[in-house]
Amino acid sequence: MTARFVLAGALLALAAPAWAVNKDIERLQIQIAALQGQIADLQRTAEDNQREIKHLGETLAEQNAFLRKALQDRRTQDDALQTAIKEFGERMAELEERLQQPAPVAAAPAPVVPVPDAGSALGAPAAAAPAAAPPPPRELYSQAYADYARGNYDLAIQEYREYLRNYPNTDLSDNAQYWIGECYYSKGRYNEAVAAWEDLLRDYPASDKIPDARYKKAVTLERLGRRREALVEYRNVVERYPNSEAGRKAREKLNP
């Protein structure tokens, strides 16, 4: 009996460590499963965060592109406004100078042309009616500018061209050619705008509108996707007219 008790005790002593080891393994398996679940949760969270970051990046890029376009449009509007203000100041100075000049002496009345009698007129061809005289240059120019300011670009182009047709060599002829380009630019007809400013550069090389015309030509070339040509014009303005307003804006284009 004593031997049996000793044997049973020995078997129980050997079984106890094996049971403890199984319990430890079971606890480790539970812990590993819990860690695997946590890792899976972290991976899902990381993927969700990556998707959110990507979405935020796309949204930020869209907003940035929109703001850059709005800024570019605002700069274009500011350029047109500054040019208009400069033009208005020039016109006011010229008007003030004209008002200070003495009034011209009234011209003598035109002689009365005798009207032939009915008998002498028989068989003679009817005299052609004289062509209507164009409006005075200042009136025609002011009307064209007023139509431009109201957004009547087609009418303004027509009036500026009429001005150039009748008064090609006045102190405002180069300005009229410049504003034809601005009208085309405002209509989004960029090729015609570039051609109008090139006409100004060719026909009025001494004009004080040359810096503005070259700068706006560069801006328009950039709108047309002709970036390399635009950079050449920007550098031309900076090098030849460094102290002008157009030179300052051209430097900003070269060094944004």
CATH code of residue 180 = 1.25.40.10
Amino acid at 66: F
Say if 102 falls within a structural domain: no
Say if 75 falls within a structural domain: yes
Task: Indicate whether 76 and 40 sit together in one domain.
Answer: no
If DSSP states are collapsed to H, E and C, what string results for 214-241? HHHHHHHHHHCCCHHHHHHHHHHHHHHC
Residue 240 CB neighbour total at 10 angstroms:
13
Task: Indicate whether 78 and 196 sit together in one domain.
Answer: yes
If DSSP states are collapsed to H, E and C, what string results for the chain? CHHHHHHHHHHHHHHHHHHHHHHHHHHHHHHHHHHHHHHHHHHHHHHHHHHHHHHHHHHHHHHHHHHHHHHHHHHHHHHHHHHHHHHHHHHHHHHHHHHHCCCCCCCCCCCCCCCCCHHHHCCCCCCCCCCCCCCCHHHHHHHHHHHHHCCCHHHHHHHHHHHHHHCCCCCCHHHHHHHHHHHHHHCCCHHHHHHHHHHHHHHCCCCCCHHHHHHHHHHHHHHCCCHHHHHHHHHHHHHHCCCCHHHHHHHHHHCC
Task: Indicate whether 76 and 61 sit together in one domain.
Answer: no
241 token code pair: 């007219």
Task: Indicate whether 176 and 163 sit together in one domain.
Answer: yes
Instruction: For residue 91, give every residue at least 6 positions away whose Cβ sits within 8 Å of its Cβ, in sequence order, or none.
Output: 142
Say if 109 falls within a structural domain: no
Say if 107 falls within a structural domain: no
User: How many distinct structural domains can be found in the chain?
Assistant: 2
Rounded to two decimals, what is the model's pTM?
0.54
Say if 99 falls within a structural domain: no
pLDDT in tens, 140-179: 999 999 999 999 999 999 999 999 999 999 999 999 999 9
Say if 110 falls within a structural domain: no
In Å, how far are 135, 196, 208 from 214, measured between CA atoms? 31, 11, 11
Task: Indicate whether 9 and 45 sit together in one domain.
Answer: yes
Task: Indicate whether 216 and 145 sit together in one domain.
Answer: yes
Task: Indicate whether 37 and 141 sit together in one domain.
Answer: no
Task: Give yes or no for a contact between 143 and 159, defined as CB atoms under 8 angstroms apart.
Answer: yes
Say if 162 falls within a structural domain: yes
Task: Give yes or no for a contact between 141 and 176, defined as CB atoms under 8 angstroms apart.
Answer: yes
In Å, how far are 60, 169, 177, 193 from 173, measured between CA atoms? 48, 6, 6, 17
Task: Indicate whether 157 and 244 sit together in one domain.
Answer: yes
Task: Indicate whether 207 and 87 sit together in one domain.
Answer: yes
209 token code pair: 């509108």
pLDDT tens for each residue of the chain, 256 residues long? 666 655 666 655 666 666 667 777 878 888 888 888 889 888 888 888 888 787 777 767 767 766 766 676 666 666 666 666 766 666 665 665 555 554 444 444 445 445 444 444 444 454 555 567 778 999 999 999 999 999 999 999 999 999 999 999 999 999 999 999 999 999 999 999 999 999 999 999 999 999 999 999 999 999 999 999 999 999 999 999 999 999 999 999 998 7
Domain residues for the domain of 54 are 1-70
Say if 115 falls within a structural domain: no
Task: Give yes or no for a contact between 209 and 178, defined as CB atoms under 8 angstroms apart.
Answer: yes
